[in-house]
Amino acid sequence: QVQLVESGGGLVQAGGSLRLSCAASGRTSSTYFMGWFRQAPGKERDVVAAINWNGGSTYYQESVKGRFTISTDTAKNTVFMQMNNLKPEDTAVYYCAASRIRFGPPTAVYDYNYWGQGTQVTVSS
């Protein structure tokens, strides 16, 4: 099993920044990719960004390209997502997820085996 704990969400004004962190513990060696997803009220959960543990393969949703950056710290088994120039439409619960899929990055919810509890990000206009 792998446990994931997110932190770093909060309330920020449009144009501001937040940095999300996801600390992984347990059998992290069984996972190859990490992803950040988000879910707004009444909407489906969608991938925002994904990365493999060595950082050599990344994916970004089109709407966040140039504003969000996903990265890893393998020494601390932690994944980060730096979010800049936040917009009201970025408001959602953000989830960290881990995948046992070797090749990718995987982008579907069903590709991920472990999930964190979520952290709220609210961007005011």
Strand partners, 17: none
CA atoms within a 13 Å half-sphere pointing along the CA-CB vector of 34: 30
Over its length of 125 residues, how does the chain's per-residue pLDDT go in tens digits?
999 999 999 999 999 999 999 999 999 889 999 999 999 999 999 999 999 998 889 999 999 999 999 999 999 999 999 999 999 999 999 999 999 999 989 999 999 999 999 999 999 99
Phi, psi for residue 3 in degrees, rounded to 5: -110, 140
